[in-house]
Structures are given as structure tokens and as C-alpha cells.
Structure 1
Amino acid sequence: MKFQDKIVFVTGAASGMGLATAQAFAEEGAIVFGADISAGNLAQDVAAVPNARPVPLDIADPAAVRAAFGEIEREFGRLDVLVNAAGVNTPNRAAQEKLNELNYEGFVAMKEGRRPTPPEFFEQISDADFDRVIKINLYGPFYTIRAAAPLMKRNGGGAIINFSSAAALMGVAMPAYYPASKAGVLGLTREAAVELAPFNIRVNALAPGAVDTPLFRQTDPEFNDFLIGMQPIRRSAAPAEVARTVLFLAGEEGSYYTGQTISPSGGLVMQ
């Protein structure tokens, strides 16, 4: 097994790509700490994964992050892999439902040959909403990397994989907090890659496109089909496909990769 007895910490592990990643590492023999703010899903899904330990955690809380990594330090004294998969599209359910509604209205207008109403996201975003998404999507990975780095240095190396988004690599009309936060993740990844390379710690990013997660399925299926139709590969990815890329970057096969952004997006993003 490629990751036998390796210590792996995965955020956003209760569903979607985070859960698929936790499962993939566990299948390869790793001891997986699966962290998520959703305690119910952790208890149901992550607890069912062999060699996985559920960690209820709000990654936007720096004290809670320090405490979680402190537990790993006390028990194992090291960390091999950190995967920052936790993230949100919007600050709350109401904002997500409103965004879905606006996207669908624009899609219907285009379908009927009408000019869609131009979005006015900037005028509608509150300071609290912007701050909440930035805290989870950007501060969260900063907090976990800061906590993980000393454990990886002590271990003689490690691998960090941060989840960004295709929205960080192209112009998309959507609330600015999401592409801004995900673009910040790319800057964080590159800086960490340079700083941590002398310690044999590699840091890379993924920028996924359409992936068949519970969040993706909250959007109208017809609108999702429209988005997928813009890709050369006209389907969504399964979370397990993205997880396999994470394992590649974390393992020996990816040992010469650092500071890179790989976009599993069906060709939506080409670099």
C-alpha cells in the first residue's frame, strides 16, 4: 500500500471531494484524520472509513485548528500529508439559494434568446458575507499549513495539497468572495512551496471544475448540463477521480511537483 501508516489530515472530509480523498488514503493504508464542521456527517461517513478518525473542526477558528494538530503531535509527533479540501461557495444557505436562482434566470434568458440581466453582486455582498467566505476558504488553509509545517519539518518532509477552483483561473460572473478566496489559495500555495521546499515539503493546488458533489447537485440539473457543455469533456467528474489526483501529488509519483496548480476541469481550463 502506497501510504501504509502515513499520517494524513483532510479538511472538508464529511462529503464530496474531501470524503473521497479520505477514503482513498485509507484504502492505501494511511491513518486519516478527517476534519469537518459537520459533526453529523462525520459520525456517519468518516467514522465508517477504515483507519479514519473523525475530527469536528471549524477551520476558520485558529485556536481549534491548533488544538486539532496538537492532538496529532501528542499521539504521533509527525504529519505526512495535509489536504485542504474544505471550502464554501457562499456564506450561508440563503445566499446559495439566491445565487442558484440568479444563475438559472440568466440561463433561461439565454435559452430564450434574451439578454440576461447583468448581475450586481458587488452591491449585494455584505462585509460579513465576504469575511465569512474568506475566513473559510483562505484563512482556513493558512491556519492548517501553519500548524502542519512544524510537524512535517520534524518528520523530514511531507506533502500539502490545497483545493482552489477553476473559478480562480478564469473570469466568472459570480459573488466576488469565491473567486477572490480561491485565487488567494493559489498565492498561498506558491509562497508555501518556495518557503517549505528546503524542508522537503511539497505544496501544490487543485483547481477543479464541475465535480458531482452534494453542493453541485443543489443547482438545477439543466443549468449544470449547460455548464458542462462548455467543457471539451462533457461530463462532471466523480469525486474519486479528483481524489486520485490528490494521491498522485502526495505520493512518490508526484515527488518533483511543487508550487503547481492542476485543474481537473474536463478541459474548461487549459494551461
Structure 2
Amino acid sequence: MRFQDRIVFITGAASGMGLATARAFSAEGAVVFGADTSAENLDRDFAALPGARPVPLDVADSAAVRAAFARVDDEFGRLDVLVNAAGVNAPNQAALDRLNAENEKGFLAAKEGRRHVPEFLEETSDEDFDRTLRINLHGPFYTTRAAAPLMKRAGGGAIVNFSSSAALMGIAMPAYYPSSKAGLLGLTRACAAELAPFSIRVNALAPGAVDTPLLRQNDAEFNEFLVGMQPIERAATPEEVAASVLFLAGDEGAYYTGQTFSPSGGLVMH
């Protein structure tokens, strides 16, 4: 098995792409620390995996992140792979409702041949912007900082950050999301350059539409409209994204660092 006895830490491991990634590493023999804010969801969907170590964790809490990686150090003294999959597209339910309402207006306008001009900027609070960056950008910084000494001790490792296609395009949406995800690409490149001498590789994924519970909350017709913008007119499965993570974390991806891969059905092309 490709990751037999490797030590892997995954944030956002209780659902969606993070859970699919945890399953993929577990199936390849890894010991998987799975972190998520929801202890209940970890117990339900993650904890039963072979080699699973549930870690209830808010990645925006720097002290809690340090404590979580101290546990990895105590148990194994090293780390081989870090996957930063935790993230939010809106910082709370009210913000998510506003985003969904604007998306619905835009979708209806497109169906009727009208133009809809969304307005997000002036309605975005300091608190919403700050909270999103704390989860989507500060969190991966905290985990990477905590993981680096454990990977150095192991003689190398791999870090995969979950960005978004929204970081690579100009899309009218609340600025906190593309800002946080674009910042994560800068973090990826900076850490890749610094950590390469220690045989630690750092890469990023920038997915488009992925068939997760979050996407399924949308109206089916809206999702058809969304994937219709892609040359490959379907959402990716979480397992397809997980396969990209395993490639970047494994021996096959040993010559890649500082790169951004976009499993987006051709929405983003380089």
C-alpha cells in the first residue's frame, strides 16, 4: 500500500473532500489524524476508518492547533503528510443565506435574459471578513507552522492546501472567500520555497464544483447552471479530488512543489 504506516493529518476530515481524502489515505495503510470542528461528525463518519485518530479542532485557534500537533508528536514523533481541507465559503448561516439569495437572483436573471449585478462589498462586515480569513488562511498557516518541525524530523513530507477556482478567476462574490483562497496560494508558494531544502513539498488544489453536501444544498437546476460553465459539464466527485491529493502527497508527485492544480472540469485552464 502506498502510504503504509505513514502519519497523515487532515483538517476538515468529517465531511466532503476532507472525508474522502481521509478514506483514501486510510485505504492505503496510513495512520490518519482527522481534525474537524464537529466532534459528532468525526465520530459518525471518520472514526470508524482503519487507523483513524479523531481530533476535534477549530483551525482558527492557534493554541488548539499547537496542542493537536503536540499530540501527534507525543504519539509518533513525526508527520509525513498534512492536508489542509478545512474551509468555509461563508463565515456563518446569515452570510451563507445572503450568498445563496444573490446566486438565485443571478440564476433567474440569466434564465430570463437579464443582467443581475450583485452587491456584496458594502454589506460585508469586518467580523465576517476576519472570521473567513481566520479559517481559510490563518488556519493553514497555523497547521503548516506546527507540522514543519515534525516533517523535518521525519526527513521530509508533503503538504496539500485546498484553495479554490475562485482564487484564480474574477467572480462577483463576497470578497472574503476569494481573498482567503488566493492568500492560501501565496502561503503555498512561500512555504514551498522555504521547505524544499528539507525535502518537504507544498502544493495546492483549486477545485471547481464538487459533489459535496454543501453543493447539494443548492437547487438542482442551479447546480446544472453552475457546472454548465465548465467544459466538462459535471461536478467532480470528492474521490476524484482525493486522488489528486494522494498523487501530490506520494512518490508519483515527488518533483512537484509550489504548484496549483485545478480539478475544475476545465473552468480554469493554464
- 1:119 shift after superposition: 1.5
Q: Please report the TM-score for the alignment, with normalisation by the length of structure 1.
A: 0.99
Partner of residue 146, structure 2: 147
Letter in structure 2 aligned against 1:52: A
User: Aligned residues, how many?
Assistant: 270
Partner of residue 263, structure 2: 264
Local SS of the residue matching 1:215: helix
C-alpha contact (below 8 Å) 2:106/2:118 kept by paired residues: no
Partner of residue 192, structure 1: 191
Distance 1:96 1:250 in 2: 32
- 1:86 shift after superposition: 0.2
Letter in structure 2 aligned against 1:115: R
Partner of residue 31, structure 1: 31
C-alpha distance after superposition, 1:193-223 (max 9, x if no partner): 0000000000000000000011111122211
- 1:4 shift after superposition: 0.2
Distance 2:124 2:209 in 1: 24
| Counterparts of residues 117-128 of structure 1 (less than 5 Å) | 118-128=117-127
Distance 1:229 1:114 in 2: 18
Partner of residue 214, structure 1: 213
State the Cα RMSD in Å.
0.6
Letter in structure 1 aligned against 2:223: N
Note the residue ranges of structure 2 that are not aligned, 5 or more in a row: none
C-alpha contact (below 8 Å) 1:193/1:201 kept by paired residues: yes
| Counterparts of residues 1-271 of structure 1 (less than 5 Å) | 1-116=1-116, 118-271=117-270
Distance 1:124 1:219 in 2: 22
Letter in structure 2 aligned against 1:161: V
- 1:98 shift after superposition: 1.6
- 1:229 shift after superposition: 0.5
Distance 2:215 2:96 in 1: 11
Note the residue ranges of structure 1 that are not aligned, 5 or more in a row: none
- 1:93 shift after superposition: 1.3
C-alpha contact (below 8 Å) 1:37/1:57 kept by paired residues: yes
**Segments of 4+ moved more than 4 angstroms:** none
C-alpha contact (below 8 Å) 2:124/2:174 kept by paired residues: yes
C-alpha contact (below 8 Å) 2:202/2:258 kept by paired residues: yes
Distance 1:115 1:182 in 2: 27
Letter in structure 2 aligned against 1:181: S
C-alpha contact (below 8 Å) 1:100/1:220 kept by paired residues: no
Distance 1:235 1:44 in 2: 28
- 1:157 shift after superposition: 0.2
Which stretch of the first structure deviates more once superposed, 37-46 or 79-88? 37-46
Q: Please report the TM-score for the alignment, with normalisation by the length of structure 2.
A: 0.99
Identity across matched positions, percent:
75
Local SS of the residue matching 2:67: helix
Distance 1:6 1:47 in 2: 18
Distance 1:138 1:162 in 2: 10
Local SS of the residue matching 2:213: coil
Distance 1:199 1:66 in 2: 21
C-alpha contact (below 8 Å) 2:6/2:31 kept by paired residues: yes
